[in-house]
A = this chain, B = another copy of it.
Amino acid sequence: MKESIERKLIQKRSEILNSRELTALAAIESEISYGFLEYCRSKGFKLIDVPHMTKATGACENFLTIFDVDFFGEQVYLSQTGQLYLEAFLHQPGFERTCCIGPSFRREEKVDDRHAIEFPLLEVEIADCDLRKLRYHAEGILSTMASNVSEKCTEDLDVLGVPPEWLKTFRPPYEVITYEKAITTLGLSWGSDLKAEHEQALVEWNGQKPLFVTHYPQEIKFFNMRLNREDTKVVNSMDLLFPYSGECLGAAEREEDYLTLRKRLEDSEMLSLMQQVIKKEPGMQDKTDFQIKADAISRFDWYLDLIRKHPVKHAGFGMGKNRIFQSMVASEDIRAAGSYIVNKETIL
């Protein structure tokens, strides 16, 4: 994207609502959403309405970035993902593939060029699925989106200064490397999380093309990512890195062994962050740490019960729509990569 346009697009939405640049964004966004939904419809995915307020099960790893809402005197949280709810249907006939589309809310203290406070998250969960099958679906969805944009948004790309050839970048198949290979390439030590600059270095190393990185250390990933049975240091996870935006998709097989799952929840970073948050809820002040931890775990009971009763092998992913979009319009700044993006500067 042209830098001058990028600068224009990170202004307050109300300042640019009438601009051709903003409608160029919105036209492309529309094709991306329809692309996702068309793919899902054609492959038999059930489109599920997921809740956007939960007691805890709408949270991602970093519970500190969750927004709370006073819900008639109780505290509830705005959801960041519908994943667990999508998983809940998979064992039922006809529901082997589920998907949802909706807002994800992240209380990011530092508004920067990589983080949005609210963005649409596109999610799928699939029964009887592993990383290989997930790649097939991820590539299918992303190439449907890219073809839609190529075919229907020629003028819009032109307005933003994006060369039409750029969309060819998203043609599958995408390269796949392990986390281990990635850190060796980058000269990092085992256990390091990949920061934005590392993701960009890997994409560059791959010739500015999309790249899957698989098998991350279990400690740095969500509690329900499935432990690799041959090497329990890692989980069967997979992040997709895109030029410009870095991680735009987080995928994993899900743990279906109840005891492993429960233990991983109990030991998870998420749960300890969650305890810091929920001990400030009304009525929690006089509880012991032990009671708070038990309360935190109990909020996942419905999900744990479900896995205990119906241990179906399954896998899924979530895609940050603005990250995908940012890459498709080749923008350096996520704030320029969406027709709204709520943050402190741009809230309407």
Measured CB to CB, the residues of A under 8 A from B are 13-14, 17-18, 20, 23, 26-27, 29-30, 33-34, 37-38, 41, 46-55, 57-58, 67-72, 74, 76, 78, 85, 88-89, 91-95, 101-103, 105, 107, 109, 117-118, 120, 301-302, 305-306, 309-310, 321, 338-340, 342, 344, 347-348
**Of B55, B78, B88, which one neighbours A17 at CB under 8 angstroms?**
B88
**Contact assessment for B302 and A49 in the assembled complex, using a CB-CB cutoff below 8 Å:** no
Q: Specify which chain B residues have a CB less than 8 angstroms from the CB of A49 in the assembled complex.
A: 26, 29, 33, 120, 321, 338-340
Closest B residue, CB atoms, query A300:
B348
CB–CB B18/A51 < 8 A: no
Residue of B30, B55, B306 near A18 (CB, 8 A) is B306
For A50, list chain B residues within 8 Å (CB).
340
Chain B, Cβ-Cβ closest to A299: B348
By secondary structure, the A interface counts as mixed
Q: How far is the CA of A94 from the CA of B20 in the complex (A)?
A: 11
Q: Which of B17, B33, B51 contacts A118 (CB 8 A)?
A: B51
A306–B89 alpha-carbon span in the complex (Å): 44
A322 to chain B, nearest CB (A): 9
- Asked if A23 and B94 sit within 8 Å, CB to CB, the answer is yes
- Cα A101 to Cα B50 in complex, Å, equals 13
B33 A47 Cβ-Cβ under 8 A: yes
Residues of B within 8 A of A71 (CB): 67, 344, 347
Contacts of A26 in B (CB 8 A): 46, 48-49, 89, 95
Residues of B within 8 A of A30 (CB): 46-48
Known: A53-B118, A54-B348. A23 touches B102 (CB 8 A): no
Contact at A347–B33, with CB atoms within 8 Å? Answer: no
Do residues A51 and B348 form an inter-chain contact, with CB atoms below 8 A?
yes
B53 touches A347 (CB 8 A): yes
Set B14, B41, B69, B89: member contacting A301, Cβ < 8 A: B14
**Would A347 and B51 be within 8 Å (CB), given that A46-B30, A69-B78, A72-B109 are in contact?**
yes
| Residues in B neighbouring A101, C-beta threshold 8 A | 101
